[in-house]
Chain A
């Protein structure tokens, strides 16, 4: 192994003789990992706007049922189904996945492990192109006869399999096709991430010198790869059921609808951790930099990440406690589900211990990182009620579940993304973001977020079911108290969406007018900060060599309170 490394390293030289490429090869068909990361990020942001718009429309329908929604019109029941289905699918598959795994993975992995690009740049480009195709197919599915798929993002058959039930004969197969294409794109991307991190690390970078965020993106990619296979096979079977009329999931003809639920959640639960881990990694990076303190228990965090990854495969059936699964299995899955809170809690404790005694700087990125810890904690704690099969019988399919997973997914996808963007923006675009606008954005988003989903916990405990078009039709649920909570949640959501305007202004203004950032504005240790901002094609002037771990902050006896990984002494 040692010979292989030296022979590979001695032949390395940095290619900087590229001429100025034209627009198409620079922005559209680029193989550069940073450009592909930007493509993923901007696609994800556009999809987030679409998903947010959908949330606005159906929240308005729930608060003011039957009234015309400004900017959409009257929401029909079919449109309502389609909106909630695609809101869920978009936010998870086309926002959380591309931004947290693909954009951050593409941008950070080569920079943080000190190499010039991904191991397979053209596979990387292909991965984005397939992803873009999946976006096009998904968006097209809204405009076919019957409208977009309306069978909920979990696509349980027979509702999803037979068009006489879901009433979307074209939307359903297109939706499934889009999801399958998206899986293929992330499989290709994941293989790239894993092999690059395994093989292309900078000279001297050992296993425990890899930054936590890279570890977490790689572990997340492995989880994705190991869990998505059965669902790809299952999606082919479902597509055959929809289009060709086979009966894999049709109980009348000997099929089994519960099989789909298993296939879906065998992927779907690890998927939660696939998006959670990169966000946790981002938070780890940000809190060490802004607490100016060594990350507490690097190896423990790493091992608990492995434990989380493995345990995440043992919990999937807690989504199916009332689907008629074997009650003995329900016991097993209750125990494993409650067990998985241990490694996650341990990680959160390690993060809090990192803060203890640090000299904390409350930049916007740090505020978002701290908010992640607080909000995700609420999501995690409420999950315990749902993981126990006894209480889940009552809570299943209510707004309690909905509020719970929004308290996990919102911190992951939205707060995690904002943490990353406020922290790495100087590296991505070479300019600083405005901190004042950032703080307005932060407080507006966080306060309104709690305003949306805390009332929904209460509504869920009150028995309000998910996926219902108009609660006025249910006397128990149409009481003025409950309805006022609904209106409050809706207006909180609208205000939260409005508070994204300062962010967009900040983003665009900083892109062109922001203060120039130096190479290392945050005085951080990891390798990406030793490259110019923004890094050119090929990233580093000379390939860095690594001498120590990524979190050597405030080391006693050193003049500066940071110690970059590539500085010999």
Chain B
């Protein structure tokens, strides 16, 4: 079967060099201390690196298309999970009510609630 799936190989060392360069960038970027730069350097570059590893090392660039669809579907479901759950986990307070579970005990006493459970 290996003969059938044989294909031309790109220059892997060159790709590795680019990845290493990107790694250095992603470490230097946050050192500037600017929040936007940090986020782009940390996560933007991580996405680029992941895409490069996927495309060239995992051969997704020459793999059948539907493998890509499979992986992308899994990511979509994860995105769905994140956006369905994050309203509750990230912002437990409503606009018309107070979430006692999400408060330090000291402020709770001010609200007249004795226990946190």
The residues of A with any CB-CB pair to B shorter than 8 Å are 4, 7, 158, 226-227, 230, 251-252, 256-259, 262-263, 266, 313-314, 316-317, 324-329
Docked CA distance A342–B105 (Å): 48
Docked CA distance A266–B81 (Å): 7
Interface residues on B, range: 20 to 34
B94 touches A262 (CB 8 A): no
Query: B73 interface residue, CB < 8 Å from A?
Result: yes
Q: Among B77, B89, B105, point to the contact of A226 (Cβ < 8 A).
A: B77
B99 touches A230 (CB 8 A): no
Q: Among A256, A313, A324, A328, point to the contact of B77 (Cβ < 8 A).
A: A313
Closest to B115 in A: A252
A-B contact count (CB 8 A): 53
A326 touches B77 (CB 8 A): no
Docked CA distance A262–B81 (Å): 8
Interface centre among B87, B88, B94 (most CB of A within 10 A): B88
Q: Which 3 A-B pairs have the closest CB atoms?
A: A251-B101, A326-B87, A262-B85
A326 touches B73 (CB 8 A): no
B89 touches A258 (CB 8 A): yes
Docked CA distance A263–B86 (Å): 12
A319 to chain B, nearest CB (A): 12
The A contact surface, by secondary structure, is helix
Docked CA distance A327–B93 (Å): 11
Docked CA distance A230–B88 (Å): 16
List of B residues within 8 angstroms of A329 by Cβ: 84, 87-88
B87 touches A256 (CB 8 A): no
Q: A252-B116, A313-B77 in contact; A328/B87 too (CB < 8 A)?
A: yes
List of B residues within 8 angstroms of A317 by Cβ: 84
A226 touches B99 (CB 8 A): no
Query: B102 interface residue, CB < 8 Å from A?
Result: yes
Docked CA distance A252–B89 (Å): 15
B84 touches A266 (CB 8 A): yes
Docked CA distance A490–B89 (Å): 41
A99 to chain B, nearest CB (A): 26
List of B residues within 8 angstroms of A328 by Cβ: 87
Query: B27 interface residue, CB < 8 Å from A?
Result: no
Docked CA distance A158–B78 (Å): 25
Q: A251-B116, A327-B94 in contact; A262/B84 too (CB < 8 A)?
A: yes
Docked CA distance A227–B81 (Å): 9
Closest to A251 in B: B101
A4 touches B88 (CB 8 A): no
Produce 1/0 per residue, B66-104, CB < 8 A to A: 000000011001101100110111011010000101100
Docked CA distance A126–B89 (Å): 38
A4 touches B99 (CB 8 A): no
List of B residues within 8 angstroms of A314 by Cβ: 80
Closest to A254 in B: B102
Q: Among B74, B77, B99, B117, point to the contact of A158 (Cβ < 8 A).
A: B117
B116 touches A259 (CB 8 A): no
B116 to chain A, nearest CB (A): 5
Identify 26 residue pairs between A and B in the complex whose beta-carbon atoms are under 8 Å apart, listed by A's number: A7-B4, A226-B73, A227-B77, A230-B81, A252-B105, A252-B117, A258-B88, A258-B89, A258-B92, A259-B89, A262-B88, A262-B89, A266-B81, A313-B77, A313-B80, A316-B84, A324-B99, A325-B87, A325-B88, A326-B87, A326-B88, A326-B91, A326-B94, A327-B94, A329-B87, A329-B88
List of A residues within 8 angstroms of B117 by Cβ: 158, 251-252
A256 touches B73 (CB 8 A): no
A248 to chain B, nearest CB (A): 11
A6 to chain B, nearest CB (A): 12
B61 to chain A, nearest CB (A): 18
A259 touches B85 (CB 8 A): yes
List of B residues within 8 angstroms of A326 by Cβ: 87-88, 91, 94
Docked CA distance A252–B103 (Å): 8
List of A residues within 8 angstroms of B94 by Cβ: 326-327
Docked CA distance A479–B116 (Å): 36
Q: Which of B24-76 contact A (CB under 8 A)?
A: 73-74
Docked CA distance A258–B73 (Å): 26
List of A residues within 8 angstroms of B77 by Cβ: 226-227, 313
Closest to A261 in B: B88
Docked CA distance A256–B84 (Å): 15
Docked CA distance A251–B99 (Å): 11
